[in-house]
Amino acid sequence: MMKAVLCTKYGAPEVLQLGTVTKPTPKNHEVLIKIHATAVTASDCILRGSKLPPGFLLLMMRVVVGFRKPRNPVLGLVLAGEIESVGRDVTRFEVGDQVYGFTDLGFGTYAEYKCMPEKGILALKPDNLTYEEAAAIPYGAILASHYLKTGNIQRGQKVLIYGASGAIGTTAVQLAKHYGAEVTGVCSTANVELVKSLGADHIIDYTRDDLADRAERYDFILDAVGKRKSSTLKSQCQKALTPNGKYISVDDGSPKSRVEYLVELKELIEAGHFKPVIDRCYPLEAIVEAHRYVDGGHKKGNVIITVAHSD
């Protein structure tokens, strides 16, 4: 058996309860990962609270994840840990490898162990990161990489990241800088210094600044907070595009998760060109508190959960 957090119905953070479930055994092409850290993502909270407005998206989520309750009661999309055992046919990983990954619709990382296919979204973790730091990478990496690649950003282009202080935003700012763009980050006053420290060339404070009197135009704008969060400045951003400029929201379409994004981030991190952003760390036992905090909608980067093992 193993320790896990169970979500047996949709609702407030208190629906999450610590319990025990059967420890999984890897199939032939799977690896068993001993999880040391996971993260509470905005997606976890949307799923747990079943927070999408009634309509097609909510229906689709329920079809995929479960109608009355999550089909897999163990939530969690992100993990960092160590390979404990491998299936008979596994060739990409060995026992003892330190990995980080993203489960996509598999979920199940709020637990001590998780099996993943060796060809899943799983890669060796950056050598210079702790497990907690590594768990701060996959969610932003998968989403920001997908949307920035859609933008096909060229060196010297002007890129604006609306919501530059969240998990996706902090990743997008750093990646857009790496691709050679001139980056403007939009955030609130409390996050100005954080976004500057990530390399943004310009900062706009959505609680104070106005775009109406600015002539600046952008080749690519990423709305990194999604369609449920808005401001006057966000509406103004949508009109501040160059003639061939592109505006995209993280709520547009379903991102394709690729393991290559994690491999690329490992290289960037080890070369010192990218840093994880962690707001707070909680033990697995404090998952309700962690969900309450993320539900607030103002986390900076990532909220990490450490998973302690008794053995």
Ligand X SMILES: NC(=O)c1ccc[n+]([C@@H]2O[C@H](COP(=O)([O-])OP(=O)(O)OC[C@H]3O[C@@H](n4cnc5c(N)ncnc54)[C@H](OP(=O)(O)O)[C@@H]3O)[C@@H](O)[C@H]2O)c1
Contact residues for ligand X, defined by CB under 6 A: 41-43, 143, 163, 165-169, 187-188, 190-191, 206, 224-226, 229-231, 250-251, 254-255, 297-300
CB of 278 within 8 A of CB of 171?
no
- Start-to-end C-alpha separation, the chain: 12
Count CB atoms within 10 A of the CB of residue 290: 26
CB of 41 within 8 A of CB of 141?
no
Q: Are strands 121-124 and 113-117 parallel, antiparallel or unpaired?
A: unpaired
* DSSP structural state of residue 147: H
Between 103 and 112, whose beta carbon lies closer to ligand X? 103
Q: Nearest to residue 173, comparing CAs of 43, 277, 294, 299?
A: 277
Q: Nearest to residue 242, comparing CAs of 157, 144, 155, 146?
A: 157
Residue 34 Cβ vs ligand X, minimum distance, rounded to whole Å? 26
Between 97 and 295, whose beta carbon lies closer to ligand X? 295
Between 95 and 190, whose beta carbon lies closer to ligand X? 190
Residue 185 Cβ vs ligand X, minimum distance, rounded to whole Å? 10
Between 60 and 308, whose beta carbon lies closer to ligand X? 60
Between 71 and 298, whose beta carbon lies closer to ligand X? 298
Residue 115 Cβ vs ligand X, minimum distance, rounded to whole Å? 23
Q: Nearest to residue 4, comparing CAs of 311, 259, 309?
A: 309
Q: H/E element holding 141?
A: helix 138-151
Residue 216 Cβ vs ligand X, minimum distance, rounded to whole Å? 18
Between 92 and 229, whose beta carbon lies closer to ligand X? 229
Q: Which amino acid is at 195?
A: V
* Distance of alpha carbon 172 from alpha carbon 2, whole angstroms: 36
Residue 223 Cβ vs ligand X, minimum distance, rounded to whole Å? 9
Residue 204 Cβ vs ligand X, minimum distance, rounded to whole Å? 10
Between 226 and 245, whose beta carbon lies closer to ligand X? 226
Residue 302 Cβ vs ligand X, minimum distance, rounded to whole Å? 7
Count CB atoms within 10 A of the CB of residue 104: 14
Helices 138-151 and 259-270: angle between axes, nearest 10 degrees: 100
